[in-house]
Structure 1
Protein backbone atom coordinates (compact mmCIF):
# COMPACT_ATOMS: atom_id res chain seq x y z
CA UNK A 1 0.00 0.00 0.00
CA UNK A 2 1.45 3.37 -1.00
CA UNK A 3 1.72 6.46 1.24
CA UNK A 4 -1.07 8.01 -0.81
CA UNK A 5 -3.30 4.97 -0.15
CA UNK A 6 -2.66 5.15 3.59
CA UNK A 7 -3.63 8.84 3.62
CA UNK A 8 -6.99 7.96 2.12
CA UNK A 9 -7.82 5.17 4.58
CA UNK A 10 -8.87 5.25 8.22
CA UNK A 11 -8.42 2.76 11.01
CA UNK A 12 -11.21 0.89 12.76
CA UNK A 13 -10.72 2.96 15.92
CA UNK A 14 -10.91 6.24 14.01
CA UNK A 15 -13.95 5.05 12.08
CA UNK A 16 -15.76 4.21 15.31
CA UNK A 17 -14.88 7.62 16.73
CA UNK A 18 -16.08 9.43 13.59
CA UNK A 19 -19.38 7.61 13.29
CA UNK A 20 -20.08 6.26 16.77
CA UNK A 21 -20.48 2.75 15.38
CA UNK A 22 -19.89 -0.53 17.19
CA UNK A 23 -17.49 -3.25 16.08
CA UNK A 24 -20.49 -5.58 15.73
CA UNK A 25 -22.16 -3.33 13.16
CA UNK A 26 -18.93 -3.10 11.19
CA UNK A 27 -18.46 -6.87 11.29
CA UNK A 28 -22.04 -7.37 10.08
CA UNK A 29 -21.53 -5.17 7.04
CA UNK A 30 -18.24 -6.86 6.27
CA UNK A 31 -20.02 -10.23 6.43
CA UNK A 32 -22.60 -8.94 3.91
CA UNK A 33 -19.79 -8.02 1.57
CA UNK A 34 -20.87 -4.37 1.43
CA UNK A 35 -17.97 -2.97 3.42
CA UNK A 36 -14.61 -4.38 2.32
CA UNK A 37 -11.73 -2.95 4.31
CA UNK A 38 -8.16 -3.74 3.47
CA UNK A 39 -5.44 -4.82 5.88
CA UNK A 40 -2.68 -2.49 7.02
CA UNK A 41 0.34 -2.96 9.28
CA UNK A 42 -0.08 -5.79 11.82
CA UNK A 43 -3.16 -6.91 9.88
CA UNK A 44 -5.21 -3.95 11.15
CA UNK A 45 -8.40 -3.08 9.28
CA UNK A 46 -8.22 -0.01 7.04
CA UNK A 47 -11.39 1.58 5.67
CA UNK A 48 -11.62 3.44 2.36
CA UNK A 49 -13.63 6.49 1.38
CA UNK A 50 -16.26 4.14 -0.05
CA UNK A 51 -16.46 2.17 3.20
CA UNK A 52 -16.98 5.32 5.26
CA UNK A 53 -19.82 6.57 3.04
CA UNK A 54 -21.49 3.15 2.99
CA UNK A 55 -21.30 2.79 6.74
CA UNK A 56 -22.60 6.32 7.38
CA UNK A 57 -25.49 5.68 5.00
CA UNK A 58 -26.32 2.36 6.68
CA UNK A 59 -26.51 4.09 10.05
CA UNK A 60 -28.88 6.73 8.68
CA UNK A 61 -31.07 4.15 6.96
CA UNK A 62 -31.54 2.15 10.15
CA UNK A 63 -34.21 4.63 11.30
CA UNK A 64 -36.06 4.66 7.98
CA UNK A 65 -38.94 2.47 6.81
CA UNK A 66 -36.63 0.66 4.41
CA UNK A 67 -36.72 -3.13 4.75
CA UNK A 68 -33.47 -5.05 5.33
CA UNK A 69 -33.61 -6.14 1.67
CA UNK A 70 -33.94 -2.55 0.47
CA UNK A 71 -31.18 -1.49 2.81
CA UNK A 72 -28.87 -4.07 1.27
CA UNK A 73 -29.90 -2.96 -2.23
CA UNK A 74 -29.18 0.68 -1.39
CA UNK A 75 -25.77 -0.09 0.01
CA UNK A 76 -24.92 -2.40 -2.88
CA UNK A 77 -25.83 0.27 -5.40
CA UNK A 78 -23.89 2.91 -3.51
CA UNK A 79 -20.89 0.62 -3.51
CA UNK A 80 -21.11 0.16 -7.29
CA UNK A 81 -21.53 3.87 -8.04
CA UNK A 82 -19.20 5.56 -5.56
CA UNK A 83 -15.79 6.55 -6.94
CA UNK A 84 -12.64 5.03 -5.49
CA UNK A 85 -11.49 8.46 -4.38
CA UNK A 86 -13.29 11.58 -3.25
CA UNK A 87 -14.31 13.71 -6.26
CA UNK A 88 -13.53 17.41 -6.15
CA UNK A 89 -17.24 18.18 -6.21
CA UNK A 90 -17.91 16.00 -3.18
CA UNK A 91 -20.81 13.62 -2.74
CA UNK A 92 -24.19 14.40 -1.27
CA UNK A 93 -26.66 11.76 -0.16
CA UNK A 94 -30.13 13.07 0.62
CA UNK A 95 -33.69 11.92 1.11
CA UNK A 96 -36.15 13.45 -1.34
CA UNK A 97 -39.69 12.33 -0.66
CA UNK A 98 -39.56 8.56 -0.55
CA UNK A 99 -36.31 8.29 -2.51
CA UNK A 100 -32.70 8.27 -1.45
CA UNK A 101 -30.84 10.44 -3.94
CA UNK A 102 -27.09 10.52 -4.44
CA UNK A 103 -25.54 13.59 -6.06
CA UNK A 104 -21.97 13.63 -7.34
CA UNK A 105 -21.32 16.93 -9.07
CA UNK A 106 -23.91 17.18 -11.84
CA UNK A 107 -24.98 13.54 -11.47
CA UNK A 108 -27.97 12.56 -9.43
CA UNK A 109 -29.33 9.04 -8.87
CA UNK A 110 -31.60 7.03 -6.59
CA UNK A 111 -30.17 4.57 -4.11
CA UNK A 112 -33.43 2.97 -2.89
CA UNK A 113 -37.05 3.83 -2.09
CA UNK A 114 -38.21 4.30 1.50
CA UNK A 115 -39.12 7.02 4.00
CA UNK A 116 -35.90 8.78 4.88
CA UNK A 117 -34.39 11.86 6.46
CA UNK A 118 -30.81 11.87 5.32
CA UNK A 119 -28.76 14.92 4.39
CA UNK A 120 -25.00 15.03 4.60
CA UNK A 121 -22.00 15.87 2.48
CA UNK A 122 -18.61 14.22 2.26
CA UNK A 123 -15.43 16.26 2.02
CA UNK A 124 -11.71 15.81 2.60
CA UNK A 125 -9.77 17.70 5.25
CA UNK A 126 -6.04 17.11 5.81
CA UNK A 127 -6.18 13.70 4.17
CA UNK A 128 -9.09 12.42 6.25
CA UNK A 129 -12.66 11.72 5.17
CA UNK A 130 -15.15 13.72 7.21
CA UNK A 131 -18.90 14.28 7.10
CA UNK A 132 -20.21 17.82 6.90
CA UNK A 133 -23.67 19.19 7.42
CA UNK A 134 -24.89 21.41 4.59
CA UNK A 135 -24.28 25.08 5.42
CA UNK A 136 -26.28 28.16 4.44
CA UNK A 137 -23.27 29.30 2.39
CA UNK A 138 -23.25 26.11 0.33
CA UNK A 139 -26.98 26.32 -0.20
CA UNK A 140 -26.72 29.94 -1.29
CA UNK A 141 -24.07 29.09 -3.87
CA UNK A 142 -26.14 26.15 -5.15
CA UNK A 143 -29.25 28.33 -5.44
CA UNK A 144 -27.30 30.89 -7.45
CA UNK A 145 -25.87 28.23 -9.76
CA UNK A 146 -29.30 26.68 -10.31
CA UNK A 147 -30.78 30.10 -11.12
CA UNK A 148 -28.01 30.79 -13.65
CA UNK A 149 -28.73 27.49 -15.37
CA UNK A 150 -32.46 28.23 -15.39
CA UNK A 151 -31.90 31.65 -16.99
CA UNK A 152 -29.66 30.05 -19.60
CA UNK A 153 -32.31 27.45 -20.40
CA UNK A 154 -34.90 30.18 -20.83
CA UNK A 155 -32.67 31.93 -23.35
CA UNK A 156 -32.17 28.69 -25.30
CA UNK A 157 -35.83 27.66 -25.55
CA UNK A 158 -36.52 29.23 -28.94
CA UNK A 159 -33.18 28.61 -30.66
CA UNK A 160 -32.01 25.25 -29.25
CA UNK A 161 -34.77 23.33 -27.42
CA UNK A 162 -32.62 20.21 -26.94
CA UNK A 163 -29.94 22.22 -25.19
CA UNK A 164 -32.59 24.01 -23.13
CA UNK A 165 -33.92 20.64 -21.92
CA UNK A 166 -30.46 19.63 -20.74
CA UNK A 167 -29.89 22.93 -18.97
CA UNK A 168 -33.30 22.86 -17.24
CA UNK A 169 -32.42 19.41 -15.92
CA UNK A 170 -29.08 20.77 -14.75
CA UNK A 171 -30.87 23.57 -12.88
CA UNK A 172 -33.10 21.03 -11.12
CA UNK A 173 -30.08 18.90 -10.18
CA UNK A 174 -28.13 21.84 -8.79
CA UNK A 175 -30.94 23.36 -6.77
CA UNK A 176 -30.83 22.44 -3.06
CA UNK A 177 -34.62 22.89 -2.92
CA UNK A 178 -37.28 21.69 -5.39
CA UNK A 179 -37.10 24.11 -8.34
CA UNK A 180 -40.76 24.64 -9.22
CA UNK A 181 -40.32 26.95 -12.22
CA UNK A 182 -37.71 24.68 -13.79
CA UNK A 183 -40.03 21.68 -13.49
CA UNK A 184 -42.93 23.58 -15.07
CA UNK A 185 -40.91 25.00 -17.95
CA UNK A 186 -38.99 21.78 -18.62
CA UNK A 187 -42.21 19.77 -18.79
CA UNK A 188 -43.91 22.34 -21.01
CA UNK A 189 -40.94 22.42 -23.39
CA UNK A 190 -40.86 18.64 -23.64
CA UNK A 191 -44.60 18.61 -24.27
CA UNK A 192 -44.13 20.94 -27.23
CA UNK A 193 -42.18 18.11 -28.87
CA UNK A 194 -44.92 15.48 -29.30
CA UNK A 195 -42.52 12.55 -29.27
CA UNK A 196 -41.28 13.66 -25.84
CA UNK A 197 -44.64 13.81 -24.08
CA UNK A 198 -43.73 10.68 -22.14
CA UNK A 199 -40.67 12.49 -20.78
CA UNK A 200 -42.82 15.51 -19.98
CA UNK A 201 -45.24 13.30 -18.07
CA UNK A 202 -42.40 11.93 -15.95
CA UNK A 203 -41.27 15.49 -15.18
CA UNK A 204 -44.77 16.51 -14.12
CA UNK A 205 -45.17 13.39 -11.99
CA UNK A 206 -41.87 14.11 -10.26
CA UNK A 207 -42.91 17.70 -9.67
CA UNK A 208 -46.35 16.70 -8.36
CA UNK A 209 -44.69 14.46 -5.79
CA UNK A 210 -43.14 17.68 -4.47
CA UNK A 211 -46.03 20.08 -5.16
CA UNK A 212 -49.16 17.87 -5.02
CA UNK A 213 -51.66 20.73 -4.77
CA UNK A 214 -50.45 22.81 -7.69
CA UNK A 215 -53.15 23.40 -10.30
CA UNK A 216 -50.70 24.32 -13.07
CA UNK A 217 -48.87 21.01 -12.76
CA UNK A 218 -52.12 19.04 -12.85
CA UNK A 219 -53.21 21.00 -15.93
CA UNK A 220 -49.91 20.45 -17.72
CA UNK A 221 -50.02 16.78 -16.85
CA UNK A 222 -53.48 16.65 -18.41
CA UNK A 223 -52.17 18.28 -21.60
CA UNK A 224 -49.39 15.67 -21.91
CA UNK A 225 -51.85 12.83 -21.38
CA UNK A 226 -54.30 14.42 -23.82
CA UNK A 227 -51.65 14.54 -26.56
CA UNK A 228 -50.79 10.92 -25.82
CA UNK A 229 -54.47 9.97 -26.27
CA UNK A 230 -54.71 8.74 -22.67
CA UNK A 231 -58.05 10.47 -22.34
CA UNK A 232 -59.32 8.95 -19.10
CA UNK A 233 -56.17 10.00 -17.28
CA UNK A 234 -56.18 13.42 -18.96
CA UNK A 235 -59.76 13.96 -17.82
CA UNK A 236 -58.77 13.12 -14.25
CA UNK A 237 -55.84 15.55 -14.34
CA UNK A 238 -57.99 18.39 -15.70
CA UNK A 239 -60.58 17.69 -13.01
CA UNK A 240 -57.90 17.71 -10.30
CA UNK A 241 -56.70 21.05 -11.64
CA UNK A 242 -60.22 22.48 -11.45
CA UNK A 243 -60.77 21.07 -7.98
CA UNK A 244 -57.78 23.12 -6.85
CA UNK A 245 -58.66 26.17 -8.97
CA UNK A 246 -62.23 26.24 -10.33
CA UNK A 247 -61.40 29.42 -12.28
CA UNK A 248 -58.65 27.84 -14.39
CA UNK A 249 -60.11 28.80 -17.77
CA UNK A 250 -57.79 26.70 -19.95
CA UNK A 251 -58.61 23.58 -17.95
CA UNK A 252 -62.34 24.16 -18.63
CA UNK A 253 -61.56 24.67 -22.32
CA UNK A 254 -59.46 21.52 -22.70
CA UNK A 255 -61.86 19.44 -20.67
CA UNK A 256 -64.77 20.65 -22.80
CA UNK A 257 -63.00 19.53 -25.99
CA UNK A 258 -62.06 16.19 -24.43
CA UNK A 259 -65.62 15.53 -23.29
CA UNK A 260 -66.93 16.42 -26.75
CA UNK A 261 -64.63 13.80 -28.24
CA UNK A 262 -66.07 11.30 -25.79
CA UNK A 263 -69.64 12.21 -26.73
CA UNK A 264 -70.44 13.91 -23.41
CA UNK A 265 -72.58 16.78 -24.71
CA UNK A 266 -73.67 17.95 -21.27
CA UNK A 267 -70.10 18.06 -20.00
CA UNK A 268 -69.02 19.92 -23.12
CA UNK A 269 -71.65 22.63 -22.63
CA UNK A 270 -70.95 23.00 -18.89
CA UNK A 271 -67.20 23.47 -19.25
CA UNK A 272 -67.44 25.51 -22.44
CA UNK A 273 -69.80 27.94 -20.68
CA UNK A 274 -67.42 28.14 -17.74
CA UNK A 275 -64.54 28.86 -20.09
CA UNK A 276 -66.46 31.60 -21.91
CA UNK A 277 -67.49 33.20 -18.62
CA UNK A 278 -63.93 33.19 -17.27
CA UNK A 279 -62.27 34.39 -20.48
CA UNK A 280 -64.94 36.86 -21.57
Structure 2
Protein backbone atom coordinates (compact mmCIF):
# COMPACT_ATOMS: atom_id res chain seq x y z
CA UNK A 1 0.00 0.00 0.00
CA UNK A 2 1.10 3.58 -0.56
CA UNK A 3 0.34 6.89 1.04
CA UNK A 4 -2.58 8.57 -0.69
CA UNK A 5 -1.81 11.31 -3.18
CA UNK A 6 -4.16 12.82 -5.71
CA UNK A 7 -1.88 12.63 -8.75
CA UNK A 8 1.43 11.38 -7.30
CA UNK A 9 3.26 14.51 -8.47
CA UNK A 10 4.60 17.62 -6.70
CA UNK A 11 4.87 21.17 -7.98
CA UNK A 12 8.06 23.22 -7.73
CA UNK A 13 6.46 25.26 -4.94
CA UNK A 14 5.45 22.20 -2.91
CA UNK A 15 8.91 20.72 -3.47
CA UNK A 16 10.55 23.86 -2.08
CA UNK A 17 8.29 23.60 0.97
CA UNK A 18 9.10 19.91 1.49
CA UNK A 19 12.86 20.43 1.19
CA UNK A 20 12.87 23.71 3.10
CA UNK A 21 15.21 25.34 0.57
CA UNK A 22 14.92 28.36 -1.78
CA UNK A 23 14.00 27.97 -5.46
CA UNK A 24 17.56 28.59 -6.63
CA UNK A 25 18.77 25.54 -4.69
CA UNK A 26 16.18 23.30 -6.35
CA UNK A 27 16.95 24.65 -9.82
CA UNK A 28 20.67 24.25 -9.14
CA UNK A 29 20.18 20.59 -8.25
CA UNK A 30 18.11 20.13 -11.41
CA UNK A 31 20.78 21.80 -13.55
CA UNK A 32 23.35 19.46 -12.03
CA UNK A 33 21.34 16.60 -13.50
CA UNK A 34 20.25 14.99 -10.24
CA UNK A 35 16.62 14.77 -11.44
CA UNK A 36 14.75 15.23 -14.69
CA UNK A 37 11.18 16.32 -13.85
CA UNK A 38 8.33 16.08 -16.33
CA UNK A 39 6.09 18.90 -17.54
CA UNK A 40 2.40 19.36 -16.85
CA UNK A 41 -0.32 20.54 -19.26
CA UNK A 42 0.64 24.19 -18.62
CA UNK A 43 4.36 23.42 -18.98
CA UNK A 44 4.76 23.51 -15.18
CA UNK A 45 7.39 21.29 -13.56
CA UNK A 46 6.05 18.07 -12.05
CA UNK A 47 8.18 16.06 -9.61
CA UNK A 48 7.61 12.44 -8.61
CA UNK A 49 8.05 11.05 -5.10
CA UNK A 50 11.37 9.58 -6.25
CA UNK A 51 12.48 13.04 -7.44
CA UNK A 52 11.63 14.49 -4.03
CA UNK A 53 13.74 11.93 -2.15
CA UNK A 54 16.63 12.12 -4.61
CA UNK A 55 16.75 15.92 -4.39
CA UNK A 56 16.68 15.80 -0.60
CA UNK A 57 19.53 13.28 -0.64
CA UNK A 58 21.56 15.30 -3.16
CA UNK A 59 21.06 18.49 -1.14
CA UNK A 60 22.23 16.89 2.10
CA UNK A 61 25.24 15.28 0.45
CA UNK A 62 26.22 18.58 -1.16
CA UNK A 63 25.93 20.27 2.25
CA UNK A 64 28.30 17.59 3.62
CA UNK A 65 30.86 18.45 0.89
CA UNK A 66 30.54 15.10 -0.86
CA UNK A 67 31.91 15.20 -4.40
CA UNK A 68 29.46 15.40 -7.31
CA UNK A 69 30.85 12.13 -8.71
CA UNK A 70 30.00 10.30 -5.50
CA UNK A 71 26.60 11.96 -5.27
CA UNK A 72 25.69 10.91 -8.82
CA UNK A 73 26.78 7.34 -8.11
CA UNK A 74 24.80 7.25 -4.87
CA UNK A 75 21.66 8.68 -6.49
CA UNK A 76 21.86 6.19 -9.37
CA UNK A 77 21.83 3.30 -6.91
CA UNK A 78 19.17 4.90 -4.76
CA UNK A 79 16.91 5.69 -7.74
CA UNK A 80 16.91 2.04 -8.79
CA UNK A 81 15.68 0.93 -5.35
CA UNK A 82 13.13 3.60 -4.42
CA UNK A 83 9.43 2.76 -4.73
CA UNK A 84 7.36 4.95 -7.03
CA UNK A 85 5.25 6.18 -4.11
CA UNK A 86 5.79 6.56 -0.39
CA UNK A 87 4.84 3.39 1.56
CA UNK A 88 2.55 3.83 4.56
CA UNK A 89 5.42 2.57 6.71
CA UNK A 90 7.55 5.49 5.49
CA UNK A 91 11.22 5.29 4.59
CA UNK A 92 14.41 5.83 6.51
CA UNK A 93 17.49 6.70 4.48
CA UNK A 94 20.86 6.80 6.22
CA UNK A 95 24.59 6.46 5.59
CA UNK A 96 26.26 3.43 7.14
CA UNK A 97 29.98 3.40 6.42
CA UNK A 98 30.30 3.78 2.66
CA UNK A 99 26.77 2.70 1.79
CA UNK A 100 23.33 4.26 1.77
CA UNK A 101 20.88 2.12 3.70
CA UNK A 102 17.16 2.37 2.96
CA UNK A 103 14.57 0.90 5.33
CA UNK A 104 10.83 0.52 4.79
CA UNK A 105 9.02 -1.27 7.61
CA UNK A 106 10.88 -4.56 8.22
CA UNK A 107 12.64 -4.43 4.84
CA UNK A 108 16.10 -2.95 4.39
CA UNK A 109 18.46 -2.68 1.45
CA UNK A 110 21.73 -0.93 0.60
CA UNK A 111 22.72 1.41 -2.21
CA UNK A 112 26.49 1.46 -2.90
CA UNK A 113 28.29 4.81 -2.83
CA UNK A 114 31.36 6.63 -1.63
CA UNK A 115 31.76 8.20 1.81
CA UNK A 116 28.41 9.70 2.76
CA UNK A 117 26.85 11.75 5.54
CA UNK A 118 23.06 11.77 5.83
CA UNK A 119 20.25 10.43 7.95
CA UNK A 120 16.60 11.33 7.45
CA UNK A 121 13.11 9.89 7.39
CA UNK A 122 10.31 10.32 4.87
CA UNK A 123 7.00 9.96 6.69
CA UNK A 124 3.45 9.70 5.31
CA UNK A 125 1.43 12.43 7.00
CA UNK A 126 -1.80 14.02 5.78
CA UNK A 127 -1.56 12.01 2.57
CA UNK A 128 1.70 13.72 1.56
CA UNK A 129 5.28 13.43 2.75
CA UNK A 130 7.25 14.95 5.61
CA UNK A 131 11.02 14.90 6.09
CA UNK A 132 12.58 14.60 9.53
CA UNK A 133 16.27 14.29 10.32
CA UNK A 134 16.59 11.35 12.70
CA UNK A 135 20.07 10.29 13.72
CA UNK A 136 19.51 7.76 16.54
CA UNK A 137 20.47 8.97 19.99
CA UNK A 138 21.24 12.49 18.85
CA UNK A 139 19.80 15.66 20.35
CA UNK A 140 17.84 16.13 17.13
CA UNK A 141 16.43 12.65 17.53
CA UNK A 142 15.28 13.36 21.08
CA UNK A 143 13.71 16.63 20.00
CA UNK A 144 11.92 14.86 17.19
CA UNK A 145 10.16 12.60 19.66
CA UNK A 146 8.34 15.77 20.69
CA UNK A 147 7.83 16.81 17.05
CA UNK A 148 6.27 13.46 16.18
CA UNK A 149 4.04 13.62 19.27
CA UNK A 150 2.82 17.10 18.35
CA UNK A 151 2.08 15.92 14.81
CA UNK A 152 0.23 12.90 16.16
CA UNK A 153 -2.04 15.10 18.29
CA UNK A 154 -2.76 17.37 15.32
CA UNK A 155 -3.66 14.44 13.07
CA UNK A 156 -5.73 12.43 15.57
CA UNK A 157 -9.09 13.55 14.11
CA UNK A 158 -8.30 14.28 10.47
CA UNK A 159 -5.84 11.45 9.77
CA UNK A 160 -5.95 8.62 12.35
CA UNK A 161 -3.56 6.47 10.33
CA UNK A 162 -1.00 9.26 10.15
CA UNK A 163 -1.55 9.97 13.84
CA UNK A 164 -0.86 6.33 14.74
CA UNK A 165 2.35 6.38 12.70
CA UNK A 166 3.46 9.59 14.42
CA UNK A 167 2.73 8.28 17.94
CA UNK A 168 4.78 5.16 17.21
CA UNK A 169 7.69 7.29 15.96
CA UNK A 170 7.47 9.46 19.08
CA UNK A 171 7.81 6.35 21.24
CA UNK A 172 10.66 5.03 19.09
CA UNK A 173 12.66 8.25 19.22
CA UNK A 174 12.05 9.13 22.86
CA UNK A 175 14.99 8.29 25.12
CA UNK A 176 12.59 7.51 27.98
CA UNK A 177 9.15 5.82 27.88
CA UNK A 178 6.71 8.36 26.41
CA UNK A 179 3.66 8.16 28.69
CA UNK A 180 1.36 10.40 26.65
CA UNK A 181 2.19 8.62 23.40
CA UNK A 182 1.33 5.24 24.93
CA UNK A 183 -1.90 6.56 26.42
CA UNK A 184 -3.11 8.49 23.38
CA UNK A 185 -2.25 5.72 20.94
CA UNK A 186 -4.07 3.20 23.10
CA UNK A 187 -7.20 5.36 23.06
CA UNK A 188 -6.85 5.89 19.29
CA UNK A 189 -6.70 2.13 18.75
CA UNK A 190 -9.80 1.59 20.89
CA UNK A 191 -11.70 4.22 18.93
CA UNK A 192 -10.77 2.49 15.67
CA UNK A 193 -12.05 -0.85 16.99
CA UNK A 194 -8.60 -2.43 17.38
CA UNK A 195 -9.07 -3.41 21.01
CA UNK A 196 -6.58 -6.28 21.09
CA UNK A 197 -3.82 -3.94 19.87
CA UNK A 198 -4.97 -1.31 22.36
CA UNK A 199 -4.71 -3.83 25.19
CA UNK A 200 -1.15 -4.65 24.14
CA UNK A 201 -0.33 -0.95 24.12
CA UNK A 202 -1.71 -0.37 27.63
CA UNK A 203 0.05 -3.48 28.93
CA UNK A 204 3.34 -2.18 27.50
CA UNK A 205 2.72 1.18 29.12
CA UNK A 206 2.02 -0.46 32.48
CA UNK A 207 5.41 -2.17 32.34
CA UNK A 208 6.89 1.34 32.57
CA UNK A 209 4.18 3.00 34.68
CA UNK A 210 2.69 0.26 36.91
CA UNK A 211 1.30 2.71 39.47
CA UNK A 212 -0.67 4.86 37.02
CA UNK A 213 -4.40 4.71 37.75
CA UNK A 214 -5.47 6.02 34.32
CA UNK A 215 -3.65 3.22 32.52
CA UNK A 216 -5.37 0.62 34.70
CA UNK A 217 -8.73 2.33 34.05
CA UNK A 218 -8.14 2.38 30.28
CA UNK A 219 -7.08 -1.25 30.38
CA UNK A 220 -10.32 -2.12 32.17
CA UNK A 221 -12.37 -0.30 29.51
CA UNK A 222 -10.64 -2.34 26.78
CA UNK A 223 -11.32 -5.54 28.72
CA UNK A 224 -15.01 -4.65 28.76
CA UNK A 225 -14.93 -4.09 25.00
CA UNK A 226 -13.44 -7.57 24.67
CA UNK A 227 -16.23 -8.93 26.96
CA UNK A 228 -13.66 -9.98 29.56
CA UNK A 229 -15.67 -8.63 32.48
CA UNK A 230 -13.75 -10.38 35.28
CA UNK A 231 -10.45 -9.01 34.00
CA UNK A 232 -12.07 -5.59 33.61
CA UNK A 233 -13.29 -5.66 37.23
CA UNK A 234 -9.81 -6.61 38.39
CA UNK A 235 -8.29 -3.64 36.54
CA UNK A 236 -10.93 -1.27 37.96
CA UNK A 237 -10.08 -2.52 41.45
CA UNK A 238 -6.38 -1.92 40.80
CA UNK A 239 -7.21 1.59 39.61
CA UNK A 240 -9.09 2.25 42.86
CA UNK A 241 -6.25 0.86 44.97
CA UNK A 242 -4.03 3.51 43.42
CA UNK A 243 -6.65 6.29 43.41
CA UNK A 244 -9.59 5.61 45.77
CA UNK A 245 -11.49 8.70 44.57
CA UNK A 246 -11.51 7.72 40.87
CA UNK A 247 -15.26 8.25 40.37
CA UNK A 248 -15.67 6.61 36.96
CA UNK A 249 -13.88 3.49 38.15
CA UNK A 250 -16.37 3.25 41.05
CA UNK A 251 -19.31 3.60 38.64
CA UNK A 252 -18.03 1.03 36.14
CA UNK A 253 -17.12 -1.44 38.86
CA UNK A 254 -20.58 -0.98 40.40
CA UNK A 255 -22.19 -1.69 37.03
CA UNK A 256 -20.12 -4.85 36.50
CA UNK A 257 -20.87 -6.01 40.05
CA UNK A 258 -24.59 -5.49 39.46
CA UNK A 259 -24.44 -7.52 36.25
CA UNK A 260 -22.69 -10.27 38.17
CA UNK A 261 -25.47 -10.22 40.78
CA UNK A 262 -23.30 -8.88 43.61
CA UNK A 263 -25.70 -6.17 44.75
CA UNK A 264 -23.90 -5.32 48.00
CA UNK A 265 -20.63 -4.48 46.26
CA UNK A 266 -22.51 -2.68 43.50
CA UNK A 267 -24.31 -0.51 46.07
CA UNK A 268 -21.05 0.32 47.83
CA UNK A 269 -19.44 1.56 44.63
CA UNK A 270 -22.57 3.41 43.47
CA UNK A 271 -22.60 5.24 46.81
CA UNK A 272 -18.93 6.12 46.42
CA UNK A 273 -19.64 7.44 42.93
CA UNK A 274 -22.54 9.59 44.20
CA UNK A 275 -20.37 10.93 47.01
CA UNK A 276 -17.66 11.92 44.53
CA UNK A 277 -20.11 13.29 41.93
CA UNK A 278 -22.99 14.83 43.93
Aligned counterpart in structure 2 of residue 254 of structure 1, from 218, 230, 252:
252
**Equivalent residue, structure 1, for 2:227:** 229
Aligned counterpart in structure 1 of residue 211 of structure 2, from 213, 221, 243:
213
Q: CA deviation at 1:105?
A: 7.7
Question: Residues of 2 paired with 1:247 and 1:106: CA distance?
Answer: 46
SS at match of 1:88: strand
Question: Residues of 1 paired with 2:235 and 2:153: CA distance?
Answer: 26
Contact 2:137 2:175 in 1 (8 A): no
Q: CA deviation at 1:176?
A: 1.2
Question: Residues of 2 paired with 1:202 and 1:209: CA distance?
Answer: 11
- Runs of 5+ unmatched residues, structure 1: 1-86, 91-103, 109-125, 128-136
In the superposition, relative to structure 1, how do residues 89 and 225 fare at CA in structure 2: closer, same or farther (>3 Å)?
farther
Q: CA deviation at 1:276?
A: 1.4
After TM superposition, list the pairs within 5 Å mapping 1:1-280 onto structure 2.
88=94, 138-194=137-193, 196-280=194-278
In the superposition, relative to structure 1, how do residues 220 and 89 fare at CA in structure 2: closer, same or farther (>3 Å)?
farther
Q: CA deviation at 1:107?
A: 6.5
In the superposition, relative to structure 1, how do residues 139 and 221 fare at CA in structure 2: closer, same or farther (>3 Å)?
farther
Question: Residues of 1 paired with 2:142 and 2:251: CA distance?
Answer: 37
- The CA RMSD measured in Å over matched residues stands at 3.1
Question: Residues of 2 paired with 1:89 and 1:234: CA distance?
Answer: 48
**Equivalent residue, structure 2, for 1:56:** none
Q: CA deviation at 1:143?
A: 2.5
Question: Residues of 1 paired with 2:262 and 2:249: CA distance?
Answer: 16
How does the TM-score come out when normalised to structure 1?
Answer: 0.51
How does the TM-score come out when normalised to structure 2?
Answer: 0.51
Question: Residues of 1 paired with 2:270 and 2:104: CA distance?
Answer: 46
Q: CA deviation at 1:193?
A: 2.4
Q: CA deviation at 1:159?
A: 1.5
- Runs of 5+ unmatched residues, structure 2: 1-92, 97-101, 107-114, 117-135
Provide, for residues 48-100 of structure 1, a one-character-per-residue CA deviation record: whole Å limited to 9, x for no partner. xxxxxxxxxxxxxxxxxxxxxxxxxxxxxxxxxxxxxxx7266xxxxxxxxxx
Provide, for residues 250-276 of structure 1, a one-character-per-residue CA deviation record: whole Å limited to 9, x for no partner. 111111111111111112111111111
Question: Residues of 1 paired with 2:205 and 2:265: CA distance?
Answer: 29
Contact 1:106 1:174 in 2 (8 A): no
Question: Residues of 2 paired with 1:171 and 1:89: CA distance?
Answer: 22
Question: Residues of 2 paired with 1:89 and 1:263: CA distance?
Answer: 63
Aligned length: 159
Contact 1:256 1:269 in 2 (8 A): yes
Contact 1:89 1:105 in 2 (8 A): no
Contact 1:106 1:173 in 2 (8 A): no
